[in-house]
Structure 1
Amino acid sequence: MEYETIRSAVDAETEISRSRFLTRLERVTTEEEARAVIARVRSEHPRARHHCSAFVLGSDGRIQRSNDDGEPSGTAGAPMLDALTSAGLHDVVAVVTRYFGGVLLGAGGLTRAYRSSVADAVHRAERVRRAIRQEVTVHCSYDVAAQIESEARRRGYSIGQAQYSDRVAQRFAVSRGEIAPFTELVAELSAGAAEFEQGAAEYVDLAG
């Protein structure tokens, strides 16, 4: 199962009827991380009236939370959450800090303002797809390692960290259906000299 998240944090700002809306998007994987981001944003803007939030967690997006933080019920957190889910993003938290400008926006105006603030930040974000991949470590000589890495990169395999000693231990992230073709490729390039070690299957960022 694949899903999309953001590659890195995003900040955006908009002004609506003299109120300033500052949006922060960050990538998170747990509720604790999401709440830590919310607390940090709150501490960065102690004079702001509201720090509304929403987050979506998990590859299936099953964990969804939102908070109006003092705005009229349903006018902030829910539209923010809708902006995230409509964009198909998971493992992300949005915090919108509002500096009140003296003009009342009304329920409809607030709903549109909070949703559009998050939607604008989402539009600015660099998105990345994630999928389950099997970690495969290839142990081989230095000259063969360079050939394997070059060909693996050309074919779109995710390349991880390498360790160097008398030989190279290069990590790759391979889909389950590609393990056999990948090992055949490595065996061919190394003339059967490379050794394989399979690790855990986990979600990784996909290249491109």
Structure 2
Amino acid sequence: MSDLGDESTFEDTFFTVRRSSEGLYKDRSSKFFYFSFPVKNEEEIKTHLAELRKKYYDARHHCFAWALGKDADQFRANDDGEPNHSAGDPILGQIRSNNLTNILIVVVRYFGGTKLGMGGLIQAYKTSAALAIEANEIIEERVKISVSIQFPYPVMNDVMKLIKIHDLQILSQEMTLGCEMKLEFRKGLEELIISSLEEIKDLELTVI
């Protein structure tokens, strides 16, 4: 069986935040409630935005930015009524400057009666986003691959040996007339793991 090699050479990692965070930043009577969330898809983003709009229904602005994908190649910034590029872009800028992805940052503003001006708005939203990240914890995650395998009982030992050697995660398993498992592992091991599984006699494999 092939050697695992140096895992530090795998280009399948990215940085995100561990949990949700929130706080309050004030500038000249305006209140900026900031939030950050780890997210995996746009559905999760929509859910968080809807919950905040319901909770802070009387706020004037719900500005946000998000990024998805290992290389943060999916992203969006929204000013929600603030002057163009004064809110969403500064928030997105903080996401990028921290090399984060799979993250949503929302800043909810209650206007305090004093206009901040373009520069003041940019600084307020930039600071709020930075504080949302600071209040959280940045972690390194790995892009994962999932496969489904079906195999007869006689090769169970070969499968379990492979799972143990490479510390594969068993997502589910079902033992009926034959055996079926769903496994998960880091993308950097994809070629090695799939080729090793395919060497096991009578095993059928499907990438999920």
Query: In the alignment, is residue 4 of structure 1 matched against residue 14 of structure 2?
Result: yes
Instruction: Give the equivalent residue in structure 2 for 1:176.
Output: 190
Instruction: Give the equivalent residue in structure 1 for 2:62.
Output: 51
Instruction: Among all aligned residue pairs of Structure 1 and Structure 2, give the percentage whose two residues are the same amino acid.
Output: 26
Distance 2:35 2:143 in 1: 28
Secondary structure, aligned partner of 2:143: strand
Question: Quick check: 72-81 or 57-66, which moved more?
Answer: 57-66
Closer, same or farther in 2 for the Cα pair 1:116/1:197, shift >3 Å? farther
Distance 2:150 2:140 in 1: 26
Distance 2:194 2:35 in 1: 45
Instruction: Give the equivalent residue in structure 2 for 1:197.
Output: 204
- Size of the aligned set, in residue pairs, is 192
Report how far residue 27 of structure 1 moved.
0.6
Per-residue CA distance 1:2-51 (angstroms, 9 max, x = gap): 35364765131122234242314241423x65345323321221111210
Query: In the alignment, is residue 21 of structure 1 matched against residue 33 of structure 2?
Result: yes
Report how far residue 94 of structure 1 moved.
2.0
1:77-156 equivalent positions in 2, closer than 5 A: 77-123=88-134, 124-125=136-137, 127-131=139-143, 133=145, 135-137=147-149, 139=151, 148=160, 152=163, 155-156=166-167
Q: Is the 8 A contact 2:91 2:125 kept in 1?
A: yes
Instruction: Give the equivalent residue in structure 1 for 2:84.
Output: 73
Per-residue CA distance 1:121-179 (angstroms, 9 max, x = gap): 334145352425251526465xx57x927x73563433322224366533223533212
Question: Quick check: 54-63 or 81-90, which moved more?
Answer: 54-63
Report how far residue 97 of structure 1 moved.
0.9
Q: TM-score, normalised by structure 2?
A: 0.69
Residue type of the alignment partner of 1:196:
L
Distance 1:35 1:152 in 2: 37
Residue type of the alignment partner of 2:21:
D
Secondary structure, aligned partner of 1:61: coil
Name stretches of at least 5 consecutive residues in structure 1 with no aligned partner: 202-208
Residue type of the alignment partner of 1:137:
I
Name stretches of at least 5 consecutive residues in structure 2 with no aligned partner: 1-10
Closer, same or farther in 2 for the Cα pair 1:49/1:171, shift >3 Å? same
Secondary structure, aligned partner of 1:90: coil
Q: Is the 8 A contact 2:64 2:107 kept in 1?
A: yes
Closer, same or farther in 2 for the Cα pair 1:5/1:158, shift >3 Å? farther
Residue type of the alignment partner of 2:203:
F
